[in-house]
Amino acid sequence: MTQFRIFMAMIVVMLCAACASDEGPTPTTSNLALPDRTAIAQTGDLRIGPMDLLKVSVFGVDELEGEYQVDTVGNLKMPLVGEISAKGYTAIEFSRKLEQRLGETYLQNPDVTVVILESSGEQITVEGSINKPGLYEVPGQLSLLQAIALSGGPTLSANERKVAIFRQVSGQRQVAVFDLKAIRKGEMPDPQVYGNDVIVVDGSQTRENYRDIIRAAPFLALFAVF
């Protein structure tokens, strides 16, 4: 309850700030909070995904050793290799791919080790008043509208003006509420969805604990602690 009261107090402050000017804050894709990336143990069957952080070591070539981040479409850039697709490979498979690339160009019999240091967690949860609630894989870049379409679209009882994204940001659970109708009209940016996000569509099928938070939040498209 204490967290909920703090969340409500923050909402009041933001509403007052918005009323103090002719226009409220204009949400952009650049001011949407990025999620925390969770450090995970290395496993043989874990697949590399967008925004993952990799450690690459090449035996005898210290200049190539370092940490490299996979971009939002699943590619990685590193010296001597250039841009190379990493998405969908295990660490071992990607090691072999780098060995092949380096062996074709600069090195003889290269020995490459790849470790996945951090994973973006390639799944999202979609629930509430949605036709096909559940867990979904994040296929590279995915926007909120695309995630909603992937899960079958809103139900007839859905409130499309109140769709929340719950996200872990800077170690805190945060939420932002978006208006799907405004996004479709181009009046609001279509935010990117990341692994581990929980998307909740308001409506009669939404769980009470989510519904209270979503309906209390103004539609600012900005993340706030709840």
pLDDT in tens, 87-115: 989 899 999 999 999 999 889 999 999 99
Which is more confidently placed, 53 or 209?
A: 53
Q: Do 6 and 53 reside in the same domain of the chain?
A: no
**For range 59-78, the mean pLDDT:** 93
**For range 138-143, the mean pLDDT:** 76
Q: Do 103 and 65 reside in the same domain of the chain?
A: yes
CATH, residue 132 = 3.10.560.10
**Which pair of tokens denotes residue 78?**
């590193």
List the strands of the sheet with 123-128, edge to edge: 134-137, 123-128, 198-203, 158-169, 172-178, 224-225
* pLDDT tens, residue by residue, 21-49: 344 444 454 446 777 654 333 445 578 88
Among candidate residues 100, 119, 138, the one where a domain is terminated: 119
CATH, residue 91 = 3.30.1950.10
Q: Do 31 and 92 reside in the same domain of the chain?
A: no
Q: Are 194 and 138 in contact (CB under 8 A)?
A: yes
pTM of this structure: 0.56
pLDDT, residue 158, reads 95
Which is more confidently placed, 87 or 7?
A: 87
Q: Do 129 and 204 reside in the same domain of the chain?
A: yes
Q: Do 208 and 152 reside in the same domain of the chain?
A: yes
Residues 6+ positions from 89 with CB-CB distance below 8 Å = 47, 48, 97
Q: Are 218 and 145 in contact (CB under 8 A)?
A: no
Residues 6+ positions from 75 with CB-CB distance below 8 Å = 83, 84, 85, 86, 87
Domain with 161, as residue range(s), is 2-36+121-225
Which is more confidently placed, 20 or 98?
A: 98
Among candidate residues 61, 85, 119, the one where a domain is terminated: 119
Q: Do 108 and 46 reside in the same domain of the chain?
A: yes
pLDDT, residue 76, reads 96
Q: Do 27 and 67 reside in the same domain of the chain?
A: no
Q: Do 127 and 162 reside in the same domain of the chain?
A: yes
- Indicate the pLDDT class of residue 132, thresholds 50, 70 and 90: very high
* pLDDT tens, residue by residue, 166-217: 998 877 888 999 999 999 999 999 999 988 899 999 998 888 888 888 877 7
Q: Do 45 and 16 reside in the same domain of the chain?
A: no
Q: Report how far residue 4's alpha carbon sits from residue 134's, in angstroms, rounded to the nearest whole number.
A: 26
pLDDT, residue 122, reads 66
Q: Do 86 and 11 reside in the same domain of the chain?
A: no
**Which pair of tokens denotes residue 215?**
């309906």
Residue 13 pLDDT exceeds 60: no
Among candidate residues 85, 119, 153, the one where a domain is terminated: 119
Report CA 16 to chain centroid distance, whole Å. Answer: 30
- Say how many domains are in the chain: 2
Q: Report how far residue 68's alpha carbon sits from residue 56's, in angstroms, rounded to the nearest whole number.
A: 7
Mean pLDDT for all residues in the chain: 81
Q: Do 189 and 82 reside in the same domain of the chain?
A: no
**For range 127-156, the mean pLDDT:** 91
What string of H, E and C letters represents the secondary structure of the chain? CHHHHHHHHHHHHHHHHHHCCCCCCCCCHHHCCCCCCEECCCCCCCCCCCCCEEEEEECCCHHHCEEEECCCCCEEEECCCEEEECCCCCHHHHHHHHHHHHHHHCCCCCCEEEEEEEECCCEEEEEECECCCEEEECCCCEEHHHHHHHCCCECCCEEEEEEEEEEEECCEEEEEEECHHHHHCCCCCCCEECCCCEEEEEECCCCHHHHHHHHHCCCCCCCEEC
Q: Do 30 and 45 reside in the same domain of the chain?
A: no
Which is more confidently placed, 137 or 191?
A: 191
